[in-house]
Amino acid sequence: MFKDKGKYFQIEEFEKYEVDAFFTTKEIGDIKNFLGNTEENKKNFFEKFGVKDKIVVFAKQGHTDKIIDIKEDTKDYFYENVDGFITKRKNIILITKHADCLPIYFYDTKNFVIGICHSGWKGTFQEIGIRALELMEKNYNSKREDVLVGVGIGISCKNYEVGEEFYENFKNKFSEDLVNKTFIKINGKWHFDNLFFNIENLIKNGILKENLIYCEECTYGNKRFHSFRRDKSKDRNIGIIYFK
């Protein structure tokens, strides 16, 4: 489960494997104070989590389906138009930025690979979560039945009104069953359940139900989180994952 620790929510099931996976609230502070800023600011920020001597990897996200593997010989730690990462490196912190879009966290319990991606509706439409799994399979021989996946926190279905064209695009690409489960009409308007779309699609693509952890907290409805749809602000929550 996602355990509320005030300044952040932590995925307990990952912690059992000596992996920390967090989603921050407004209480943690503004990430603009450390992203792309001095190394000292990054150090001070992550000391709030008790983390020292790790390298921060992040991106200027572009709602893509692009996932980068941070290998032992990787020297670049900031990327353009990238929306997710995987790594086996113990000295790396992977982060993604969110303000209604979902973070999806991954941990291969057999091959010891972590990952995270940013899945707004564009990422979900492009199945970025599946792209992350495919890269884990390709580079580390991961098996989907061994992968633990955490999904959330993002905007809820009731607060995520979308248009007819949005609905038709999903309807034309995905199965009728999946679309019917994750689109509902409220007062004659389509609403999209990004959380459960990703959950159902991950299950359809080989992730075991017992290995899925999710949180139904809503970034729009809960003012403890930043929400672009509610506030039209550049402030962001962050998803964080790293080996302890």
Report yes or no: 148 and 13 within 8 Å, Cβ to Cβ. yes
Q: Could you give the strand order of the β-sheet that contains 161-162, starting from the edge strand earlier in sequence? A: 161-162, 189-192, 183-186
Tell me which residues of the chain have a pLDDT lower than 50.
Answer: none
Q: What is the pLDDT of residue 53?
A: 78
**In sequence order, what are the residues at sequence separation of 6 or more whose Cβ sits closer than 8 angstroms to the Cβ of residue 192?**
121, 157, 160, 162, 166, 167, 170, 182, 183
% the chain with pLDDT above 90: 84
pTM, rounded to two decimals: 0.94
Report yes or no: 149 and 106 within 8 Å, Cβ to Cβ. yes
Measured torsion, CA atoms of residues 40, 99, 97, 87, in degrees rounded to the nearest 10: 140
Tell me the HSE value of 116 on the side-chain side, using a 13 A CA sphere: 29
Residue type, 216: E
Q: What is the pLDDT of residue 88?
A: 98
Q: What is the pLDDT of residue 37?
A: 55
Nearest-angstrom CA–CA distance, 176 and 111: 35
Which CATH homologous superfamily contains domain 2-156+195-243? CNF1/YfiH-like putative cysteine hydrolases (3.60.140.10)
Nearest-angstrom CA–CA distance, 179 and 53: 45
Q: What is the pLDDT of residues 116-152, one digit of tens each?
A: 999 999 999 999 999 999 999 999 999 999 999 999 9
Residue type, 140: Y
Q: What is the pLDDT of residue 29?
A: 65
Measured torsion, CA atoms of residues 150, 154, 155, 156, in degrees rounded to the nearest 10: 20
Measured in degrees and rounded to the nearest 5, phi and psi for residue 234 equal -90, 0
